[in-house]
Chains A and B, each alone.
Chain A
Amino acid sequence: MEDRQPVLELQNVSVGYDSPAGMVQAVNDVSLKIYENTIVGLIGESGSGKSTLGNAIMHLLKNNAVLTSGTIKVMGRDVYSLTKNELRQFRWSQMAMVFQSAMNALNPVLTVEDQIVDVFLSHDKRMSKQAAKKRARELLEIVSIDPAHLKSYPHELSGGMRQRVVIAIAIALDPKLVIMDEPTTALDVVVQRSILDKIKEIQKIKKFAILFISHDFSLVSELASKVAIMYAGRFIEVTDSQSLMASKAHHPYTEGLIRAIPHLTADEVTIEGIPGNPPNLVELPTGCAYHPRCRYANDLCKRVRPEIRHVENRDIECHLYETVQK
């Protein structure tokens, strides 16, 4: 399994925001491999660095954000060694992204068709406009939108339809990796469900890898086969999603997240939150960044940052992993 080429390979990736207060590390030394035909979830609170990481992979960092160290390889190619034009060609043909605010990802003054056709014509000079239009029609059929909407403008579509169009654009060139940054956040639950089903269905056919970024713990653990949990810019736990059914044998933060899920079948509904607030990235707590909120924290946690340890098919960044497990 390990000799296959990963679709996405992150090696010690750090991303910082150059701010007046100095370099703020939004993503801190993370490593991850994603293979084809798998869905990997990336979970974290707001400000934990998940979208920054997504943008870093796409080489779309803005607002003074820079990749400070590490390498990002997609299909074996270092994304940051490509020239401008290579990058333009590489993006979308190998890796695509569905944006956080997909509602605003469509140009209000161009028709749906124009915006899909643009993808084909920008990547293949020889393609005729007719052929591109035909492909656009097929794409809309894949995401279950009536091709009559090819001539529609974004404001004439509902939120769910717009999101489907964005997904159609993302899969237009059969990329090997699709990053989905909270693709369903702005939608109501029913539409959310139909979009997720659609994503799963397309993924099954096209077999691309998905990095699914979300703050919705239960949604991700259901969709993904592997989940990375991000806290203050670090992956504090990377585990397969089956293990998330039980709150045992996890990082204390993961444990807290699992406890926070309401269980419909339980007689008494007890929802526990995690006390405290996410840390300020400018002044990270010493030692383990989670220690001020951790119920097990001791002296060591306050002083020394834990190393990643590999146990039972998961990577966990915690000093107390063995001792706390009863």
Chain B
Amino acid sequence: MRYVINRFGFFVLSLWAAITINFILPRLMPGNPADAMFAKFQGQLTPAAIDAMKKAYGIGQSNLWQQYMDYLHGLFTFNWGLSFMQYPTPVSDIIKSSVPWTLGLVGISTLISVFLGTTLGVYISWKRKGLLDNTLPIVSMIFQAMPYFWMALLFVFIFGFKLEWFPLSHGYDPSLTPGWNGSFLYSMLSHAFLPGLTLLLGSLSGWIVGMRNNMINTLGEDYVTFAEAKGVRTSRLMFSYAARNAILPQLTSFAIAIGNVVSGSILTEQVFSYPGIGNQLTSAVTSQDFPMIQASFLLIAISVLVANLIVDLLYSRLDPRIRTGGLSHEG
């Protein structure tokens, strides 16, 4: 229980740090959106118009502390400001419409990758020196070694452009209206297939090889031999004795991977013009859309922190040594 409280305390503290840094960072960047807008219109705007724009955006009106307080207040009331680029759409609306796409695409392909890779890792370490064990790590590593935007472009070219098996871009067929019906879901899935496959192939190897190596180490442990000697059935030996211990280091990588779900797909979303948060973030950065940048970064920070918290708590469920802080009661 102390462990859980501890973790929560750490979570709250790092959350505050992330929120604050998120507030300071964009303000350290040179320039402001009004100037950027002015430059964009190449002198067609009068200084009075710029002043008006600054007022509307709330730039340079109040001191930093006041801005910080407003920012905090806005955060907790989900009033994250209006996007500069898509004025006057609220940032929270843009996020609401883009995040589900990213979560769906990257989240699901990450989960598939973790599950598939870990299972394959367990299997090939069990059948060590078999055909799969000799080929799978190398083949999957070749895919992971490719820059994944390049692999994505290749897939678009081959399967989308040449063979026309899959659509080239976007999240769904724009001629359909979004809804829970068969044709829309089908369109969504066929659009997600190529980017999902790219993400899967780009990360699968790490899970396979990681789990395989952990398993081989664990299989050499005395408690596995002892359990084998005492007659434990193969399936229980494989999962409760070997894999149960070998999976612990995988969890750490899993935490990092979940944290990257929101941010890690920027290139893939660019290549496939996927309507996710990665795409929105790129355009927000190039146009100094402060509220949008802040909201996206905050979202990334929160997702990393939440993922870490979940994995920390999961760890304590799976490894009893964590719960007591690693101290043993000698004597």
Contacts and interface: CB of A to CB of B under 8 A. Distances in A.
Interface string A108-124: 11110001001100110
Contacts of A248: none
B230 A104 contact: no
Given A101-B222, A107-B245, A156 B328 contact: yes
Nearest to B218: A107
Interface string B287-331: 000000000000000000000000000000011110010101111
Interface stretch (B75-83, B106-114, B236-244, B258-266): B236-244
A60 B225 contact: yes
A109 B314 CA distance: 13
Given A106-B223, A109-B245, A155-B328, A122 B321 contact: no
A231 B326 CA distance: 42
Contacts of B324: 155-156
Given A109-B245, A109-B320, A156-B329, A104 B222 contact: yes
Interface residues of A, number: 33
Contacts of B329: 156-158
A119 B228 CA distance: 10
Looking at B222, B318, B326, B329, the one whose CB has the most chain A CB atoms below 10 A away is B222
A314 B148 CA distance: 73
Interface string A132-165: 0000000000000000000001011110000000
Contacts of B320: 108-109, 111, 153, 155
A96 interface: yes
B223 A169 contact: no
A107 B229 contact: no
Contact of A104 (B221, B319, B326): B221
B223 A108 contact: yes
Interface in B219-237: 221-223, 225-233, 236
Given A60-B225, A104-B221, A107-B223, A92 B330 contact: no
B223 A122 contact: no
A105 interface: yes
Given A104-B222, A105-B222, A156-B329, A60 B229 contact: yes
Nearest to A170: B230
Given A88-B231, A104-B221, A109-B320, A118 B226 contact: no
Nearest to A169: B230
A69 to B, nearest CB: 24
Interface secondary structure of B, over-half rule: helix
A325 B330 CA distance: 51
B231 A105 contact: no
Contact of A60 (B228, B241, B244, B330): B228
B331 A158 contact: yes
B193 to A, nearest CB: 38
Given A108-B245, A109-B244, A158-B331, A122 B225 contact: no
A166 B318 CA distance: 23
Nearest to A111: B320
B245 A122 contact: no
A153 B225 contact: no
B330 A158 contact: yes
A89 interface: yes
Looking at A109, A115, A122, the one whose CB has the most chain B CB atoms below 10 A away is A109
A119 B231 contact: yes
Contacts of A62: 225
A58 interface: yes
Contacts of A60: 225, 228-229
Contacts of A109: 244-245, 318-320
Contact of A155 (B221, B222, B321): B321
A97 interface: yes
Interface of A: 58, 60, 62, 88-89, 91-93, 96-97, 99, 101, 104-111, 115, 118-119, 122-123, 153, 155-158, 166, 169, 172
20 contacts: A88-B231, A91-B231, A92-B231, A101-B222, A105-B222, A106-B226, A107-B223, A107-B241, A109-B244, A109-B320, A110-B244, A111-B320, A115-B227, A118-B230, A119-B230, A122-B233, A158-B328, A158-B331, A166-B226, A169-B226
Interface of B: 221-223, 225-233, 236, 240-241, 244-245, 318-321, 324, 326, 328-331
